Structures are given as structure tokens and as C-alpha cells.
Amino acid sequence: MSPASGSDYGFAVPYRFPVHFTRAAWEPGNPLVADVIRRLEPARRHRMLVVLDDHVARAQVGLASAIRRYCEAYGNSLELVSSPVLVPGGEACKNDLAHPFKLLELFNEIGLDRQSCVIVVGGGAVLDMVSFAAAIAHRGIRILRLPTTVLAQADSGIAVKNSVNLFGKKNFIGTFVPPFGVINDIAALTTLPHRDKVAGVSEAVKVALLKDPGFFGDLEMNSARLAAGDVDVLSFVVRRSAELHLGHICGNGDPFELGSARPLDFGHWAAHKLESMTSHRLRHGEAVAIGMALDLTYSVASGVLDRQTCARILRLLTAIGLPLWDDALLERTTDGELAVIRGLQEFREHLGGELHITLIGGIGRSFEVTEMDEVLVSNAIATMARRAAQPFARVSFGAAGGAA
């Protein structure tokens, strides 16, 4: 008889969630929010709690009242169980467990159950934190997201993961849970500060570089309007970026990232580290732009990317108004090591032991490496420092022969 016996068991769970694009989601004439919430059980009344990013609530005066009026107008289907709740906007809400904990207390007090719905309106940070709280309460309360930043509409808000930061590390705790639905209200972007309109475009550049050279060309053509924060162009960019991200999440066979590969995380190993190192002075999108600049410069130095393509991409990032440099790149640990390089180690831990870094060999051509040469990374940072010290045109890898 064999010393052990057993069998494999398994099941597959299909997930479906709608992602809509609209304008003025809280106008009573627009039934979309109600339709998304009641789509599975049209006959019953749905208990719901609305959580608002406080910066959005401040910038969009009257939003909470508009939501109340909306729920009254659809009173047959929607029951607002409390006044809309405010949470601090920005990364602060992910840096302190008190915020998700307060929400859990509230869910408990008002008796939300697994068939209730939490609606969250805000930037990517607030969406991550509130989605996390909803995911762990009763092992999962439905969450409807209305992202209000370019980055969240184009990338994080339509994604299937949520998290908060812990131990000074980005996204240290979180879960993989698809949203009940996502409604991208383009009109919500009008109050977004200019800095955030620009920062969010970096994820669109990223996904264009990974998946769609045509979209990269569109971004080049529209770079001046993107730099100006033109909401009409942003609306097109958000939509295409969201489609590309969703196509990847739903089509690549590993939506919950069980393997170590992280194909959408181009530029992110350094970005996450820079965000922590700068105590989030850098926006996620800005850190991603710098992280991509580092990986592109590294790729030229390691011979996998040609200088002209690298220069073309850096030109686009600059034309949009995204940063290619931050002095934090030069910070050293007490051992004298460049601190950002520790990001490789943290990325490896986050992935589960083996490093997988996505690089590009051309626009639309990504590939993975399982090692990064730390000497070449340091050299790449030195090159970037020289480039940052000069006017961009002189180091655009053109006739003047700037270093890669």
C-alpha cells in the first residue's frame, strides 16, 4: 500500500462584470447606475452605501446631494442606507489601516450583507482601499466603482485587485476580487487637478508600448492636447487604455496572477519603490513614467532596444508633461547602494521568489527577463541624471549623439 493517497479537486468560477463609459452618471435621466446595480435581481430593492473621495466631494460641490436625489428617483430599486461617507483622498487612505477598519465598523453598524452594494467614487487610491474593505467584509460585499481620475478610469479602477500599503511597502495586503461593475464617468475628470490629468496618461503610454503601436501613434499625435489636459482627448485615451488592460486581464489566462509573470507591470518595479521612497510625493503615474524611463535606458544599455525607439518614447513622455527623473533615484542606503535598486528585491518578494520583469524590444513588443544586471541599472541611472541636467533636445539621441 502506498504511504499516502489523495486526488486533485478543482473548479472554475466564471466572472462577468460590466464596464461602462458615460457622462453625468448621477443625472436622474441617466439610468446606468441603477441598471448596473439591479441587473441580476431587477425586482428587488438594493441596499447600498456610497463612499466618496473627500477631494472629489470638495471639488464637485453638490455631488452628495445629487447622489441622494438619484437614489430617490430610483427608489423602487435603490435604498441608500446611510448618507454618503467621506474618506481621505489620495495615497493617505492606503497608508493607515484605520481607514479600512472604520469602513468595516460602518458596514457592521448598518448591517451591510453580501447582497448589498458599496459604491465608491474616487481616485485609484480610494478605490483600492474601499474595494479592499468591501472584499474582506463577509468575505466579499459587491462593489461598484466610479473612478474619477485618468489613471483609475484607464487602469486601476477596471482591474481585479485591491490593496492597502503596510510596512512601508506598496500594496502589501490586498485581494483579487473583480468589481460588481465599473462606470467611467468622463465628466468626473473635469475637476481633476492638471497634475493628475497628466500623471494618469503614463499607464496609457505603458499599455500602448506593450500592446498597441497604433495607439502609441495616437498618443504622439495628441501629445500637446494631453499636456493641456483636454478632456475630450483624455476620454478617448482612457477608453482605449481600459480596453487594452481589460483585454489582457480577461484574455491572458492568469487574471489573478497565480504565475509570477506580470506583463502589465512595465516600469513598475522602480515606480513602486520610488513612491515609497518619496513618501508618495510622486504620483503613481509619475513614478511609472520615471520607472519606464529607467527600464528603457537600461534596455538600450543591455542591447535589447535601439536608441532611436528609446528616444522616441522619452520624447512622448516629455511632450505629455510626464517626468523622466526624480532626485530620489540618487539616494543611497547606508551600505552605499542606490536605494531604488532595493525595489528589485521587493518586487521579487511580491511576485513570490522569482524575478519577472517586463521589458520592451520595440513598440508593441514586450518580453520578460528574470534577471536585471544591477551594474547596468546603476549606469542607466547615471545616464538619466546626465540627461536630466541638460535640455531634452540635446540628449534626444539625435545627431549630437547623447548617451543612451
Instruction: Select from 46, 273, 284, 348 the one that contacts ligand NAD (CB under 6 A).
Output: 284
Phi-psi region of 371 (alpha: psi -120 to 50; beta: other; left: phi over 0): beta
Chain centroid to CA 46: how far?
Answer: 29
Binding mask 165-204 for ligand NAD (x = CB under 6 A): -----x-----------------xx-xxx--x---x----
Identify which of 293, 291, 251, 260 has the alpha carbon closest to the alpha carbon of residue 274: 291
Instruction: Select from 159, 274, 322, 344 the one that contacts ligand NAD (CB under 6 A).
Output: 159
DSSP β-ladder status, 117-122 and 46-53? parallel
How near is the Cβ of 244 to ligand NAD at its closest, in Å? 14
Q: What is the CA radius of gyration of the chain?
A: 22
Whole-number Å distance between alpha carbons of 206 and 223: 14
| Residue 94 touches ligand NAD, criterion: CB under 6 A | yes
| Residue 343 touches ligand NAD, criterion: CB under 6 A | no
How near is the Cβ of 45 to ligand NAD at its closest, in Å? 30
Which residues does 153 contact at the CB level (< 8 Å), separation at least 6? 147, 184, 186, 189, 200, 238, 242
| Residue 55 touches ligand NAD, criterion: CB under 6 A | yes
For residue 369, the SS3 value is strand
For residue 358, the SS3 value is strand
Which residues does 126 contact at the CB level (< 8 Å), separation at least 6? 51, 53, 87, 89, 90, 93, 120
Which residues does 160 contact at the CB level (< 8 Å), separation at least 6? 15, 176, 177, 178, 179, 249, 255, 256
Instruction: Select from 85, 125, 305, 339 the one that contacts ligand NAD (CB under 6 A).
Output: 125
Q: Which amino acid is at 53?
A: D
Indicate the residue among 46 and 197 with the shorter CB distance to ligand NAD: 197
How near is the Cβ of 177 to ligand NAD at its closest, in Å? 10
Indicate the residue among 190 and 390 with the shorter CB distance to ligand NAD: 190
Instruction: Select from 48, 49, 67, 91 the one that contacts ligand NAD (CB under 6 A).
Output: 91
| Residue 123 touches ligand NAD, criterion: CB under 6 A | yes
Whole-number Å distance between alpha carbons of 392 and 314: 9
Indicate the residue among 143 and 188 with the shorter CB distance to ligand NAD: 188
| Residue 59 touches ligand NAD, criterion: CB under 6 A | yes
| Residue 257 touches ligand NAD, criterion: CB under 6 A | no
How near is the Cβ of 127 to ligand NAD at its closest, in Å? 7
Indicate the residue among 128 and 295 with the shorter CB distance to ligand NAD: 128
What residue ranges bind ligand NAD (CB under 6 A)? Answer: 53, 55-56, 59, 89-91, 94, 122-126, 128, 148-149, 151-152, 155-156, 159, 161-162, 170, 188-189, 191-193, 196, 200, 283-285
